[in-house]
Amino acid sequence: MVLALESSCDESAAAVLDARRGLLAHELFSQVDLHRLYGGVVPELASRDHVRRLLPLVRQALERAGVAPGELGGVAYTAGPGLVGALLTGAALARALAHGWGLPAIGVHHLEGHLLAPLLEDPAPSFPHLALLVSGGHTMLIEAHALGDYRLLGETRDDAAGEAFDKCAKLLGLPYPGGPQLAALAAAGRAGACPLPRPMLDRPGLEFSFSGLKTAVSLAIRAQPLDDQRRADIARGVQEAIVDVLCGKALRALDQTGLAALVVAGGVGANTSLRERLQRECAARGARVYFPRAEFCTDNAAMIALAGLMRLERGERSAPGLAVRARWPLAELRPPKREP
Ligand code: KG4
Ligand code: ZN
């Protein structure tokens, strides 16, 4: 059994995962109300709030799981990538608890957590599979061969898909965090009423680019008076463009690799339109698609618990010391290494 902490950005979370019984508890506190006033995450405020929230969340998770610290086999925490101050709060607490309880601690790569989140569901995907990782900071197509064995097939050259959702939402005057708000507004928009470019979809390869979408949206906003219908039409246009590109490239990657399973992970994976479209298109070509439940698409500690548990079970331990990394390329990850 592992206890896990997540504090890489603006959600504080704790979870308890049992290797046999599955997920026993997962607790989360979102800081969105704290950051909304500033239109984005303020790193120093995020760190200070993690300090306040994490320990009560740990207590709550253990209580809800009905687990005493003596029953745990390790403590996992997000060691990067993310906001360095925020990461340090979780790392310090996790390491202190592990030390006090005499348990091994393990630092987890946040994106490996996202990639493994679909494995918390039933049925769970098996390796190898294609992964579409779409979060606020990343847009990647990955050939996942095994735990820690990931080959990057293509990524974004500029903005991430979630960032594009957030920036276009801001242009439309929607409050932070924009992605889910834009998706909600898009439901009232008319299909095809505001056609926007599909960056790089017509080009071969598996790279993405989303920065041009902002410019196209600013032009669309200026082109006509903005009433409620027009705003919804633009939101719909943005969502259609992003979903089209993500879907087009993911299907191309399935064709190129010959893989028959697609795993979708990261915050944008919570988008209903993306889920429906991928489900339909994958079914049509006989491929299977796996998503985490929506609450495990966005940041959470359950996915960190799973990545930590899988690595601890295979004998990996993090070296002592408080090392977190703001930047940490996924390609640097390796399969678990046994402690010598
Ligand atoms: O994975 P995540 O929670 O945090 C990162 O590690 O980045 O992803 C957050 C991103 C944000 O850009 C947010 O706007 C986007 O995921 N997002 C969505 C939806 N829910 C979250 N984008 C579109 N539709 C949604 N329903
Ligand atoms: Zn994330």
Domains of the chain, first to last: 2-115+299-332 (3.30.420.40), 127-291 (3.30.420.40)
pLDDT score recorded for residue 322: 80
134 Cα: distance to centroid of ligand 2 (angstroms): 9
Q: Dump strand ranges (E) for the chain.
A: 2-6, 11-18, 22-30, 74-80, 105-109, 129-134, 139-146, 149-155, 261-265, 288-290
pLDDT means per 10 residues in the chain (340 residues)? Answer: 98 98 98 93 97 98 98 98 98 97 97 98 97 96 97 97 97 93 98 93 93 96 94 98 98 97 98 98 97 97 98 92 92 84
pLDDT score recorded for residue 200: 87
Instruction: Name every protein residue with a CB atom under 6 angstroms from any ligand 1 atom.
Output: 9, 135-137, 162-163, 165-166, 177-180, 183, 266-268, 270-271, 298-299
The DSSP letter of residue 267 is G
Distances (CA, A) of 332 to 10, 50, 86, 246: 25, 27, 22, 25
Choose which residue among 236, 298, 300 to substitute to test ligand 1 binding: the one with the highest number of ligand atoms within 8 A of its C-beta. 298
**288 φ/ψ sector (left φ>0, alpha ψ -120 to 50, else beta):** beta
* Among 324, 187, 164, residue whose Cα is nearest residue 242: 164
Mutual angle of helices 178-186 and 161-171, in 10-degree steps = 70
The DSSP letter of residue 147 is T
16 Cα: distance to centroid of ligand 1 (angstroms): 24
Ligand nearest to the CA of 134: 1
Helix (H), strand (E) at residue 23: strand 22-30
Quote the pTM value: 0.96
Structural contact between residues 42 and 26, judged by C-beta atoms closer than 8 angstroms: no
- CB neighbours (10 Å) of residue 32? 13
pLDDT score recorded for residue 32: 94
pLDDT score recorded for residue 340: 59
Atom of ligand 1 nearest to the CA of 166: 14
Q: What are phi and psi of 219, to 5 degrees?
A: -65, -40
The DSSP letter of residue 160 is -
Q: In this structure, which residue's CA is closest to atom 10 in ligand 1?
A: 136
9 Cα: distance to centroid of ligand 2 (angstroms): 8
- 3-state secondary structure (DSSP) of residue 287: coil
- CB neighbours (10 Å) of residue 79? 25
Ligand nearest to the CA of 182: 1
